[in-house]
Amino acid sequence: MNYLCPSILAADFWELGKQIELVEQAGAPYLHIDVMDGMFVPSISFGMPVLECVRKKSELFMDVHMMVEQPERYIEELIRLGADGVTIHVEACSCIPETLSKIRALGKKTGLAINPETPVEAVLPYMDLVDMVLIMTVHPGFGGQRYIMDCVDKIKKMRTVINQRYPDVKLEIDGGVTLGNLEMNLDAGANVIVTGSAIFKGDIGQNVREFLKRMEAL
């Protein structure tokens, strides 16, 4: 099963509520919430108040991507405000097992992310605590970047490990995904597809439907 996960980083914030409604009505199951701290990544995005506001109105699975140093500081608060899953970066957290365990103890899904230059081996020690691995397919920090082709081999490698030993773990990719490279990524083994700028432009509902149609067909 494949899951489409539109990233609101690319939304028009003047119209955020309306645009999330369009995504939800068109049938996307997940919503990707990019939290940036200006330290782990150069930019600052949004955080708790936006999460809280979206949770009050939307039933979508809220997939929170913490591009934040020491994300362990925020786990309880994110979950209290309505996160369904919290993904932390291996590069940003010095207490990974404790942080993943905390997310699980609070009844939510765990995610562990790696940057394009980080090998897949970096997540392997933690796989028993992970519900989803996130392979970044751009350098984190900004939407609208070009997909980094070197990541395809990492996706394939991670898929092999997951199939052999952790069949319930999801494999998410994030960055530069378009209708043009979707098939290649699904073939490589990704099954949670984050996409921002390919969804939040033109006819948002139609974009979601087109992605969903292709994801079902493949």
Site residues for ligand DX5, 170-209, by CB under 6 A, read: 174-177, 194-198
Which residues in the chain belong to E strands, given as ranges? 3-6, 30-36, 61-67, 85-89, 109-114, 132-136, 170-174, 192-195
CB of 28 to ligand DX5, least distance (A): 13
Residue number closest to Zn ion, CB atom: 65
- Given 135, 174, 186, 195, the residue binding Zn ion (CB under 5 A): 174
User: Would you count residue 144 as binding ligand DX5 (CB under 6 A)?
Assistant: yes
CB nearer to Zn ion: pick between 131 and 174: 174
- Given 65, 89, 159, 170, the residue binding Zn ion (CB under 5 A): 65
- Cα 88 to Cα 165: distance, rounded to the nearest angstrom: 22
Stretch that binds Zn ion, among 19-27, 121-129, 168-176, 201-209 (CB under 5 A): 168-176
Partner touching 143 among Zn ion, ligand DX5, none, CB below 5 to 8 Å by kind: ligand DX5
- Cα 177 to Cα 77: distance, rounded to the nearest angstrom: 30
- Cα 155 to Cα 31: distance, rounded to the nearest angstrom: 21
Strand partners, 132: 111, 170
Are 29 and 60 spatial neighbours (Cβ–Cβ below 8 Å)?
Answer: yes
Are 48 and 81 spatial neighbours (Cβ–Cβ below 8 Å)?
Answer: yes
Catalytic annotation, residues? 34, 174
Q: Which residues contact 27 (CB under 8 A, 6 or more apart)?
A: 208, 209, 212
Partner touching 87 among Zn ion, ligand DX5, none, CB below 5 to 8 Å by kind: none
- Given 23, 26, 34, 85, the residue binding Zn ion (CB under 5 A): 34
CB of 157 to Zn ion, least distance (A): 21
Q: Residue 80 is inside which H or E element, if any?
A: helix 75-80
- Given 7, 87, 99, 110, the residue binding ligand DX5 (CB under 6 A): 7
User: Would you count residue 141 as binding ligand DX5 (CB under 6 A)?
Assistant: yes
Of 128, 107, 123, 133, nearest to 192 (Cα)? 133
Binding residues for ligand DX5 (CB under 6 A): 7, 9-10, 32, 34, 65, 138, 140-145, 174-177, 194-198
Binding residues for Zn ion (CB under 5 A): 34, 65, 174
